[in-house]
């Protein structure tokens, strides 16, 4: 009876002890190190993308100003403010310039995909839900819309009209 116990219990117990006190802690430490490396790498990439985005905004500024002037002269679509932000973060990005550059014939149509893929945008917070809030003028009337990151954007629309309080 004793030998049967030793033949089954000892290997099982030693396997349990090795797994829980040697292998699992080693694998946990390895995963934590990999996660730290990944986070460090992502922070670097986000900082680089942020720098590139700001350069794009500066390069587009003269073209943006011309587009705004043309749209104003036609009482067309002029972006007054546009903020791209992560919902759970304080991080936000002013995207007036790149959005105005997407306006064609007083319309802005952007199909369903992450806004962070657009020129002049970047992913502010990996893994977090993001949104875009736009205030715009069309035919001298102010409109406002807030959409999720991957939602389709079509402006102008009557449902975005801000009712003036009289």
pLDDT at residue 102 greater than cutoff 90 = yes
Q: Is pLDDT of 31 > 60? A: yes
The pTM assigned to this predicted structure is: 0.77
Name the residue among 125, 63, 127, 133 with its Cα closest to residue 94: 133
> By residue range, what is the domain housing residue 98?
42-160
Identify the weakest region by mean pLDDT among 2-11, 63-72, 76-85, 90-99.
2-11
Q: CB within 8 A of 100, min separation 6: which ones?
A: 64, 67, 68, 71, 78, 79
Distance CA 31, CA 13 (A): 26
Domain assignment present for residue 155? The answer is yes
Assigned domain for 22 exists: no
Residue 14 lies in a domain: no
Instruction: Please report, rounded to a whole number, the percentage of residues in the chain having pLDDT higher than 70.
Output: 98
Structural domain contains residue 100: yes
Q: What is the pLDDT of residues 33-80, one digit of tens each?
A: 999 999 899 889 989 999 999 999 999 999 999 999 999 999 999 999
**Tokens describing residue 35:** 């996660």
Which positions ≥6 away from 124 have C-beta within 8 Å?
Answer: 46, 84, 85, 86, 89, 91, 92, 93, 116, 130
Q: How many domains does the chain have?
A: 1
- Please indicate, yes or no, if residue 15 is contained in any of the structural domains: no
Phi-psi region of 111 (alpha: psi -120 to 50; beta: other; left: phi over 0): beta
Query: Is the residue at 113 inside a domain?
Result: yes
- Kindly list the distances between the CA atom of residue 3 and the CA atoms of 10, 13, 16, 96, in Å, as whole numbers in the listed order: 10, 15, 20, 79
Q: Is residue 57 part of a domain?
A: yes
Structural domain includes residue 123: yes
């Amino acid at each position: 009876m004793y030998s049967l116990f030793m033949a089954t219990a000892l290997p099982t117990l030693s396997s349990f002890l090795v797994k829980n006190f040697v292998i699992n802690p080693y694998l946990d430490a390895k995963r934590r190190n990999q996660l730290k490396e990944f986070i460090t790498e992502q922070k670097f990439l986000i900082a680089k993308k942020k720098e590139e985005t700001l350069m794009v905004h500066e390069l587009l500024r003269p073209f943006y100003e011309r587009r705004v002037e043309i749209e104003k002269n036609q009482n067309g679509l002029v972006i007054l403010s546009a903020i791209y932000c992560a919902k759970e973060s304080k991080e936000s990005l002013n995207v007036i310039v790149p959005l105005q550059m997407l306006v064609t014939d007083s319309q802005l149509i952007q199909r369903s995909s992450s806004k962070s893929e657009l020129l002049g945008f970047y992913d502010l917070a990996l893994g977090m839900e993001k949104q875009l809030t736009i205030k715009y003028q069309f035919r001298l009337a102010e409109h406002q819309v807030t959409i999720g990151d991957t939602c389709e954007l079509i402006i102008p629309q009557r449902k975005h009209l801000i009712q003036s309080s009289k």
